[in-house]
C-alpha cells in the first residue's frame, strides 16, 4: 500500500515538473526559436536570459524588417 502511494506521489511530481518545463517563461517557444534561427542563423540561441527571451519575442512579433540584426544585437 505504501509503495503504491509513494509511486503515485512520484508520478504526480514528475508530471508537474514536466508541465512546468514546457511552460518555462525563460525559454523561447519552438516556433519562436525556429523563426529566430531563420532570421539569424549564425547566432547562438542557447542559454538565453529571461530579458533576452522577451526582447527576441518582441522583435519577432514586431513589424520591423531587419529582425536578424536586432536579434544579433540583443545577444551581444
List all residues 6 or more positions away from 17 whose beta carbon is below 8 Å from its beta carbon. Answer: none
Is the pLDDT at 2 greater than 80? The verdict is no
List all residues 6 or more positions away from 46 whose beta carbon is below 8 Å from its beta carbon. Answer: none
Distance, in Å, from the CA atom of 60 to the CA atom of 65, rounded to the nearest integer, reads: 10
Q: Mind listing the pLDDT tens digit for each residue in 6-29?
A: 555 555 655 555 454 445 656 899
Distance, in Å, from the CA atom of 61 to the CA atom of 21, rounded to the nearest integer, reads: 23
- Assign 39 a pLDDT band (cuts: 50, 70, 90): very high
Return the closest-CA partner of residue 56 out of 42, 40, 22. Answer: 40
pTM, two decimals, is 0.64
Distance, in Å, from the CA atom of 25 to the CA atom of 57, rounded to the nearest integer, reads: 11
Amino acid at each position: 500500500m505504501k509503495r503504491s502511494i509513494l509511486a503515485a506521489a512520484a508520478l504526480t511530481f514528475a508530471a508537474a515538473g514536466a508541465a512546468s518545463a514546457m511552460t518555462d517563461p525563460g525559454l523561447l517557444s519552438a516556433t519562436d526559436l525556429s523563426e529566430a534561427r531563420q532570421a539569424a542563423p549564425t547566432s547562438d540561441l542557447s542559454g538565453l536570459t529571461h530579458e533576452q527571451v522577451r526582447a527576441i519575442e518582441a522583435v519577432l512579433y514586431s513589424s520591423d524588417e531587419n529582425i536578424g540584426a536586432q536579434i544579433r544585437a540583443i545577444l551581444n
